[in-house]
Amino acid sequence: MGRIASIVLTTLSLFLGMFFFFMGVIKLSPALNVDIHREIRRRFVRYARVIPFLTVPFGIKISARTYRQTIGIIEIVAGLALAFLPDRIKLYMNLFLFSITFGAIYTHIAIEDEVDKMYPAIAFTIILICRLILYVLQCKQRKSEYDRQQQQTEEQFDEKQCKLIHQQQMDNSNEQQQRQRQQKQQQKKLNRKGRKPKLINKTIDEDYYVDVYNNSDESGNEMKKNKKSKKKRSSRKKPTNSIKVD
């Protein structure tokens, strides 16, 4: 639907632009058609008496030639702009040409012209209104599409952020699991290589020291017994030596 509307809008812009361009050229020069140029010159003599926005409200009068040349130049410039320039300028030219055609209808009514002569101005006024409506609808559609694209990009960005956060959490959990596995493996290696031999050595050393201590105690006791026995023997020998013979 949007593509069809853009095609229709482009076609109307080219058609209206080239129509007003050629009408402006005919108003300025008889090169394209001499008969139409003469008829337009004759009509502008009457049109100059009731120029909209000038003669009626302010009483300003302009010659028919100046009025015709001014309208011709405006139609040439506005027609080319409507046909080939960007959308924003086309909008302004559409409004400007609509004011000209509406002024032409007012002029025909003011000079009490026949209805048959109003038909071209009425027809092109309606076409300009239709083009303006299509342009407004197209702008709304573009805005809605732009908002939809922004919403989609925001949703995609949110999804990417959620995926990144989830991936980071998974990576962190995997790292923690790997660390725990490494710690368990290190503990197993330490238990196999380091801790059991140390405990065995400790028990051996303790037993050794216990045995040595016990042996030292036994030897000490024997020494004490030997000393005691020697003292007893010495005490027994002394009285024998102290006896006198008469």
What pLDDT was estimated at residue 219?
A: 56
Among candidates 23, 48, 47, which has minimal Cα distance to 36? 23
> Is the Cβ–Cβ distance between 41 and 90 less than 8 Å?
no
Distant-in-sequence, close-in-space partners of 135: CB < 8 Å, separation ≥ 6? 9, 87, 90, 91, 94
* Residue-level pLDDT at 209: 44
Residue type, 194: G
d(CA 147, CA 6): 19
Whether 100 contacts 125, CB under 8 Å: no
How does DSSP classify residue 244? P
Determine the pLDDT at residue 115.
84
Convert 17-30 into a string of H (helix), E (strand) and C (coil): HHHHHHHHHHHHCC
User: What pLDDT score was predicted for residue 173?
Assistant: 79
Residues with Cβ < 8 Å from 82, sequence gap 6 or more? 13, 16, 17, 20, 90, 93, 94, 97
Task: Specify the pTM.
Answer: 0.58
Taking the C-alpha atoms of residue 140 and residue 161, their distance in angstroms, rounded to an integer, is 31
* Total Cβ atoms within 10 A of residue 157: 10
pLDDT at site 197: 45
Contacts of 85 (CB under 8 A, 6+ apart): 93
pLDDT of res. 171: 78
What is the pLDDT, as a whole number, of residue 210? 44
Distance CA 233, CA 240 (A): 12
| Beta carbons of 94 and 82 less than 8 angstroms apart | yes
Give the long-range contacts of residues 9-12, CB within 8 A, separation 24 or more.
9/131, 9/134, 9/135, 9/138, 12/127, 12/130, 12/131, 12/134
How confident is the chain (246 residues) per 10-residue block, as mean pLDDT? 76 90 90 88 87 71 87 92 87 90 88 85 91 87 80 75 78 80 77 54 45 51 61 53 41
